[in-house]
Amino acid sequence: MGRLEGKVTVVTGAASGIGLACATRFAEEGAAVVGCDITESSGWEPVAAAAKGNQFHVVDVRDEDALKAMAAAAVAEFGRIDAIVTAAGTAGGGPVHLISLEEWQRVQDINLTGTFLSAKAVLPTMMEQGSGSIITIASVEGLEGGEGASTYNASKGGVVILTKNLALDYGRIGIRANAICPGFIETPMFDSVLNLDAMAERREQIRYQHKLGRFGKPEEIAGAAFFLASDDSSFVTGVALPVDGGFTAGHAVGIAEMMGLGPR
C-alpha cells in the first residue's frame, strides 16, 4: 500500500517537468491525482493508468473559473482534496529598463497570480475538511537575486511570502502551506533557457554553484513534494524549503578543489 493511499491530490503544471514528476510520484504512492496544464501531454498516461478516476484538465492557471471547475470535479469524483502542488510556471527575464509592462505582467500572472488562484480554488474544500497541504513551487531565485531575471525572481519571491501568509492564516484550522524552492532542475523550461548555445559558459558556471556538482532532476523535487503531502510532515508549515543541491549554501570559488575536495 502506498503512503498516500486514500489521499486526493491536485497538481497544476502537470503535463511536464516538476508537475508531471509530482503527479507520477503521488500516483505511485497510491493517491488519487487530478492534474491540469495549459496543454495536454502524453506523459500523463502512466498517471491516468495508475488509478481509475485520475483526471487531467486543460486549464490556464490565470483562469479563476476554470480552476474552480477543476476543484469541483475533483470533489465530485473523490469527495475531498488533501493536497495541491502549484507547479505551473513560466520563465522570464531581462533588466528592468528593458522589460515591457506586458511581459512583466505575463510572468506575474502565471507564476504568482496563478499560484494564488490555484490555492484559492481548493481552500473552501480544505477549510470544510479542516485539513490540507498546500505545496507551492517557488525557486532559489525567490530566496535570493539572480542576474537578468527580475520578472521571474520577483514572481517567485512573491510565491514564498504568499505561502507563508497561507500558513499564518489557515494553520489553526488544520491547513499547512509550504514552498519548495528548487535549484536549477532539468525540465523543458530549463532547456529553453540554459541549453541555448549562447548560454553554454554560463550554464557551466551555474552548475558549479550547485555544491553537489550537477543540476537537479524533477523526481528530486517530487520527493520533497511527497514528504510535504504526507503525514510525515504533519508539523511542518510556513517553510521555504530549498531543494537545490547546495546552491543557496554559499558561494563556491574553487578553494575546495585546491584542498583536494574536487570530483573523484
Tell me, what amino acid is at 28?
Answer: E
From the number of C-beta atoms within 10 Å of its C-beta (0-12, 13-18, 19+), residue 246 rates as middle
CA 136, distance to chain mean position in Å, is 5
Q: How far apart are CA 97 and CA 213, in angstroms?
A: 34
Of the candidates 81, 79, 172, 78, the residue with the CA atom closest to the CA atom of residue 119: 81
Active site residues: 152
Q: How far apart are CA 253 and CA 264, in angstroms?
A: 18
Beta strand 175-182 pairing with 32-37: unpaired
Q: Strand locations in the chain, DSSP E?
A: 8-12, 32-37, 55-58, 83-86, 132-137, 175-182, 240-243
User: What is the phi/psi pair of residue 36, to 5°?
Assistant: -150, 155
